């Protein structure tokens, strides 16, 4: 087979496979071009998560007609002139691949005008120029990308949901708004303004502008200049009580370039070792200035990976800066009460969760525990649970030794024989049946009872809803606003009436009756926090159960709550009526058994 040079349109489509992964990649490349052009205001408009349309408008220096035509050539760039320029790249873009790659998989319109030059409009479809004409245009550039991947159906098919694609675009715009506080950023989706960030005086003001006072108050600011090395670190990192369950709240910039880097992640992990529990992450907004010749950004076409010339030094500098900031901060975090609203940026407490709410209608109340020998709790009806318990095998040989039972006793017998004896540390109910010792986690047991009650009420259309005396106002970051918009219908079916209340806030007007008003905000924020990594495939059935599980968790009895015997009996009886009494809605065990055989072995009687 003869070797031949590929035509430009095929080469551009191949390049597009790496440069243009999804709509957010297009936004990233166009915003970076606008920043390199010296723009003071950048506006991003998208429709249908960027699938239908992406439009990026800037007031930068613009292009002459000659440059406008040349910019769609492969590897055409205004940012590199000499081979040595590759070793000290000072601009965000430099490869000259983005525009021809984007144009090869979309319908693209370029409108641009430089100072003292004629305006130019170029239309391209699938990499081929359709038309070119002169047209007056304000100084700057506007690029409109329609029908992304129209000629690559396989790539278009594997785009995810509109809400997920929009959340990725929001993430990129938020990142660059943080890195360039001197530039005005606007992001709109179908006319709705998701992000509006006018010019501010510095990083601190921009963080306040985008995320609000709640997050800023939880961050420690620290700056360090490492002298002759040329490395400067300016960071905002969270205090130890702020714990997130994902890395979505970490923002890294090297010379104000958005990057993803394992060296930086490891440095942060080292700094927070023995400070944060395993599986939780801090909020970190990190800006590192480093000599251009000491960092290689020409690693991948997406330009988000970097290599450091002195990676050990950079690693230690970041780690030590975080540790110094946390060590110097002497802020005493006040204990939160039920009456104080929780920050929308506060992560849910590490498992096991300790919710803040209480069900007033339940016969369980905050009363002192009295250990009393009580009657056996017997249920009237057997409920088929389909659990894989073996039938009991009772021996009656007349010996004084206790009778032997199967390690997996019949559930119907267990539920009729179980008797509460007392509590362990006011958190675990200790009970017995004729074949062993049982320990029940009272919080997750009540959570399972409420979960199934909630689902049954909802299925029957009889969900009890409370109208809040005063709407609860919650501030959300742009990404969570996008997620919320996609789940509002399901929230409404679950008793939550949520409405926009300003650019970055929402108002909660109703909630399920089983919740205390003080727990509503924390519940919604926890739900959104958990959905951030799941929005690519929001399954409605899974979402229904997630909402029910979250509501139940927040409404369930707390640990460290003394219960009298009648209330322990009530909880055990209701638990045994549930379809799945052994596991809570989040997958944690509810009941542990210490079988009689094991007790006999421990006492050398087996």
Q: Please check whether residues 167 and 233 belong to one and the same domain.
A: no
Weakest-pLDDT range from 24-38, 410-424, 528-542: 528-542
Cα gap 320→292, rounded to integer Å: 22
Confidence tier at 252 by pLDDT (50, 70, 90): very high
Q: How far is CA 605 from the centre of its chain?
A: 54
Using pLDDT thresholds of 50, 70 and 90, give the confidence band for residue 12: low
Would you say 57 and 109 are in contact if contact means Cβ atoms under 8 Å apart? no
Q: What is the pTM of this model?
A: 0.65
CATH number of the domain that residue 235 is part of? 3.30.230.10
Residues 150, 274 share a domain: no
Most confident region among 84-98, 248-262, 393-407 by mean pLDDT = 248-262
pLDDT of residue 302: 65
If asked whether residues 149 and 183 sit together in one domain, one would say yes
What is the per-residue pLDDT across 200-216, written as a single tens digit (0 to 9) for each? Answer: 999 999 999 999 888 89
Alpha carbons 394 and 410: distance in angstroms, whole number: 11
The phi-psi region of residue 121 (left if phi > 0; otherwise alpha if psi is between -120 and 50; otherwise beta) is beta
Residue 407 counted as domain residue: no
Mean pLDDT, residues 72-84 taken together: 69
**Axis crossing angle, helix 162-179 with helix 478-493, rounded to the nearest 10:** 150
Q: Is residue 509, in this structure, part of any structural domain at all? A: yes
> What single string gives the DSSP state of each residue in 241-269?
T--BSSSTTEEEEETTEE---HHHHHHHH
How far apart are alpha carbons 585 and 554 in whole angstroms? 12
pLDDT band at residue 479 using 50, 70 and 90 as cut-offs: confident
Sheet strand arrangement including 428-433? 419-424, 428-433, 436-441, 591-595
pLDDT for the residue 129: 92
Please identify, among 511, 535, 555, the residue that sits at the C-terminal boundary of a domain.
555
Structure tokens at 271: 């700094």
| Residues 128, 234 share a domain | no
Same domain for 267 and 144?
A: no
Tell me the pLDDT tens digit for each residue of 534-560. Answer: 544 556 666 777 888 888 888 888 888
The pLDDT score that the predictor gives to residue 395 is 42
Question: Which of 37-51, 164-178, 298-312, 533-547 shows the lowest per-residue confidence on average (mean pLDDT)?
Answer: 533-547
Q: How do residues 482-522 score in pLDDT, each as one tens digit? A: 888 888 888 888 889 999 888 889 999 999 888 888 888 88
Tell me, yes or no, whether 127 and 12 share the same domain.
Answer: yes
- Give the residue, 411 or 524, on which the prediction is more confident: 524
Residue 533 vs residue 583, higher pLDDT: 583
Q: How many CB atoms lie within 10 A of CB 466?
A: 15
Based on the fold, state whether residues 54 and 192 are members of the same structural domain. Answer: yes
Among 452-456, 531-535, 563-567, the range scoring the smallest mean pLDDT is: 531-535
Residue 549 resides in a domain: yes
220 has pLDDT over 60 = yes
**Per-chain mean pLDDT for the chain:** 80
Residue 95 sits in a domain whose CATH number is: 3.30.565.10
Question: Per the domain annotation, does 493 fall within a domain?
Answer: yes
Q: How confident is the model at residue 530 (pLDDT cuts 50, 70, 90)?
A: confident
Among 328, 347, 362, residue at a domain's last position = 328
Question: How many domains are there within the chain?
Answer: 3
Domain coverage including residue 157: 8-200
CATH of the domain at 487: 3.30.1370.100
Q: Take residue 71 and report the two structure tokens written for it.
A: 């910019």
Of 328, 346, 372, the domain-final residue:
328
For residue 279, name the pLDDT band (cuts at 50, 70, 90): confident
Placement of tokens 């979960």 in the chain: 451
**Cα–Cα distance for residue pair 71/91, rounded to 1 Å:** 16
């Amino acid at each position: 087979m003869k070797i031949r040079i590929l035509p430009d349109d095929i080469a551009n489509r191949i390049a597009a496979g790496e440069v243009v992964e999804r709509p957010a990649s297009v936004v990233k490349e166009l915003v970076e071009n606008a920043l390199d052009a010296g723009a003071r205001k950048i506006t991003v408009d998208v429709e249908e998560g960027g699938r239908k349309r992406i439009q990026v408008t800037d007031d930068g220096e613009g292009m002459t007609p000659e440059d406008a035509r040349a910019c769609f050539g492969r590897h055409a760039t205004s940012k590199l002139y000499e081979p040595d320029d590759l070793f000290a790249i000072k601009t965000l873009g430099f490869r000259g691949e983005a525009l021809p790659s984007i144009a090869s998989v979309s319908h693209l319109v370029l409108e641009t005008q430089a100072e003292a030059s004629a305006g130019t409009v170029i239309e391209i479809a699938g990499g081929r120029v359709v038309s070119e004409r002169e047209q007056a245009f304000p100084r700057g550039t506007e690029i409109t990308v329609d029908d992304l991947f129209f000629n690559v159906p396989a790539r278009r098919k594997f785009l995810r949901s509109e809400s997920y694609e929009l959340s990725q675009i929001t993430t990129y715009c938020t990142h660059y708004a943080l890195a360039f506080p001197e530039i005005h950023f606007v992001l709109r989706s179908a006319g709705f303004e998701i992000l509006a960030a006018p010019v501010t005086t510095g990083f601190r003001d921009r963080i306040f502008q985008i995320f609000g006072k709640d997050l800023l108050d939880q961050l420690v600011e620290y700056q360090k200049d490492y002298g002759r090395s040329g490395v400067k670190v300016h960071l905002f990192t969270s205090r130890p009580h702020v714990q997130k369950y994902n890395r979505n709240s970490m923002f890294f910039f090297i010379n104000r370039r958005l990057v993803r880097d394992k060296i930086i992640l490891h440095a942060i992990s080292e700094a927070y070792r023995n400070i944060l529990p395993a599986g939780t992450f801090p909020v970190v907004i990190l800006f590192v200035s480093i000599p251009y010749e000491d960092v290689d950004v020409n690693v991948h076409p997406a330009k988000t990976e970097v290599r450091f010339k002195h990676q050990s030094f950079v690693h230690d500098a970041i780690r030590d800066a975080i540790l110094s900031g946390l060590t110097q901060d002497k802020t005493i975090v006040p204990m939160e009460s039920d009456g104080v609203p929780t920050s929308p940026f506060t992560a849910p407490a590490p498992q096991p969760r300790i919710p803040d709410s209480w069900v007033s209608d339940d016969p369980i109340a905050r009363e002192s525990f009295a250990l009393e020998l009580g009657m056996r709790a017997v249920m009237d009806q057997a409920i088929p649970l389909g659990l894989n318990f073996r039938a009991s095998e009772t021996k009656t040989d007349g010996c004084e030794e206790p009778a032997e039972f199967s390690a997996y006793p019949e559930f119907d017998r267990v539920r009729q024989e179980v008797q509460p004896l007392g509590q362990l540390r006011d958190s675990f109910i200790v009970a017995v049946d004729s074949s062993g010792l049982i320990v029940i986690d009272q919080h997750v047991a009540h959570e399972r009872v409420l979960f199934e009650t909630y689902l049954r009420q909802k299925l029957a259309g009889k969900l009890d809803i409370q109208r809040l005396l005063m709407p609860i106002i919650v501030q959300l970051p742009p990404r969570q606003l996008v997620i919320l918009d996609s789940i509002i219908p399901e929230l409404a079916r679950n008793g939550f009436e949520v409405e926009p209340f300003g650019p970055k806030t929402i108002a909660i007007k109703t909630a399920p009756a089983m919740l205390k008003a003080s727990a509503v905000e924390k519940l919604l924020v926890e739900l959104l926090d958990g959905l951030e990594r799941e929005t690519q495939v929001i399954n409605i059935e899974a979402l229904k159960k997630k909402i029910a599980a979250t509501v139940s968790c927040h409404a369930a009895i707390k640990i460290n709550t003394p219960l009298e015997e009648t209330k322990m009996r009530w909880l055990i009886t209701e638990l045994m009526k549930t379809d799945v009494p052994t596991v809570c809605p989040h997958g944690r065990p509810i009941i542990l058994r210490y079988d009689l055989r094991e007790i006999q072995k421990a006492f050398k009687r087996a």
